Amino acid sequence: MIRVMILLLILVASTSCSELALLASGGSVAISQNAYAKAYGALDFLTIINTEKDIKTHLYESVQHADK
């Protein structure tokens, strides 16, 4: 009975560590994606100010031009 309890405690402790590691690694991905989103937003804002069109509109028009 004591062996089973020790085994269960080890199992619970080891799964908690892996969940914490998974959450920590997911947090760094969210931070990096947030930085990319901010950079894209700033670039899109500057593009709109200079050309009065956003990046998606420029891309859409260039794809349509390439098809013709």
Domain of 53? Answer: 2-67
Cα 60 from Cα 68, distance rounded (Å)? 13
pTM, rounded to two decimals: 0.47
pLDDT band at 58 (very low <50, low <70, confident <90, very high): confident
pLDDT band at 21 (very low <50, low <70, confident <90, very high): low
Query: CA-CA distances (angstroms) from residue 65 to 28, 31, 36, 51, 61?
Result: 39, 36, 28, 18, 6
Cα 24 from Cα 5, distance rounded (Å)? 29
Q: What pLDDT, in 10s, does the model give residues 27-55? A: 555 555 677 888 888 888 888 888 888 88
C-alpha dihedral, 45 to 49 to 52 to 53, nearest 10°: -20
Domain count, the chain: 1
